[in-house]
Amino acid sequence: MKVDLSEDFKTKYRDLMGERAEKLFSAIENDSQEAFRLNPLKPDYKNVSYSLDNPIEYSPIGFFGNINGNSIDHLSGYVYSQEPSAMYVTEILNPTENDKVLDLCAAPGSKTTYIASKMDSQGLLVSNEINDKRARVLSSNIERMGIKNTIVTNNSPKDFEKKFNNFFDKVLIDAPCSGEGMFRKDPESVKYWSLDYVEQCANRQRHILDSAYKLLNKGGAMVYSTCTFSPEENEQNVAWFLKQYPDMHLVPVKKYSGMEDAKPEWGDNNPELVKALRMFPDKFNGEGHFMCKLIKDGDPEENKERQINDGLKKEDFGFVQKFSKANLTGLEKINWLKISDFLYQAASLDNRFKGLHILRNGLKLGEFKKNRFEPDIAWILALKPDELKTIYELNQQQFERYLHGESVILNDQPDFDNKWIGLSYQNKLFSWGRYSNRQIKNVYPKGLRR
């Protein structure tokens, strides 16, 4: 694959890397490495049609290989395509079930969905993306993976500062960058590269780091990562950050085969910078990345939730209860929140989030319509089979037709007592179906149809 690297780029890295630069340029000409990740939030999550014979050393749920976006494993949220280098970011962050986590630059959702799986959909995960279109893609990917504990916001990092000072236990900054490490995966990005663009990215990253510092609780951990080789965006920004905030310090991250120490001589010669890591595609089986982990000194400040009103009326609860009795094996009322005509199992009812542009607060359960409640696709993707009264297993032909928007015609009168049933293919729930008169009517969202 031909990647048209600029002469400025080549000159810069020849000066920095000497003879090794030619090996880097050759590696950028090679095909990118494909990989995917399993989703432990799903039942029997290792039951997928893709080979698990090539595991990724540093990720217990990561594997080398390519996946089909139209496969049931993908549509039902059992697998997520993710570049192998990028998987290590979440392992370094190491979120736990009780954490409050902020993914500050989260789209399209690779790292957010990984974080949620490690949290077992517990705690609180706020996934922010400043670009509206990319934020909607982020929200869609969170929905597909059956995640319950995540608030998706579409804000500037600055918007969080007044309300969330010293709030989050873990903060991830997967910073928007010049993308040099992704040149072979996205050759189009080469066209946007320039020395000036690198400087612009580095300046923007410093503003993001500045906000993140304020949002991180004392004793908390921050991971800063980029997918670029540029010292200006990596060692030099971390060196600047450590000088700006003396109560932040780097901690070592484990380096696996092909990973290298970051280079103090590319920063300010601070020997602490070797605790960060680099991945270059001439030595590492993945794309180019920089990653580091920083800890904020001090004892954590307590942040008590200030709850808002859930907005539910007595009749709303009655409609949901009626739906539950007919179609589910049980229903637990946890953090229900009504927004307009939609019902959510909210990730948080904390009024600090009022005023932010929120695309999704937790799990979208469904919509109130005239004298009834109708479930949302997000809910079925988060349910376990034993939580449904009825599941209908489609054959291949029925599955393909259903994805095209067709209803399922049944030859025999089934023993269905309820109207809303779970649809499954290869024992994986992926959609609701609405049963009536020997038909399972198609309610698969039009935007997801193939």
Tokens of 348: 């948080």
186 labelled binding-site residue: no
7 labelled binding-site residue: no
Cα–Cα distance for residue pair 52/58, rounded to 1 Å: 15
Catalytic status, residue 177:
no
106 labelled binding-site residue: yes
202 labelled binding-site residue: no
194 labelled binding-site residue: no
109 labelled binding-site residue: yes
386 labelled binding-site residue: no
175 labelled binding-site residue: no
177 labelled binding-site residue: no
Tokens of 272: 């602490």
Q: Active site residue: 177, 201, 227, 292, which one?
A: 227
For the annotated catalytic residues, the residue numbers are 227
In the annotated binding site, the residues are: 105-111, 129, 174
In the annotated binding site for S-adenosyl-L-methionine, the residues are: 105-111, 129, 174
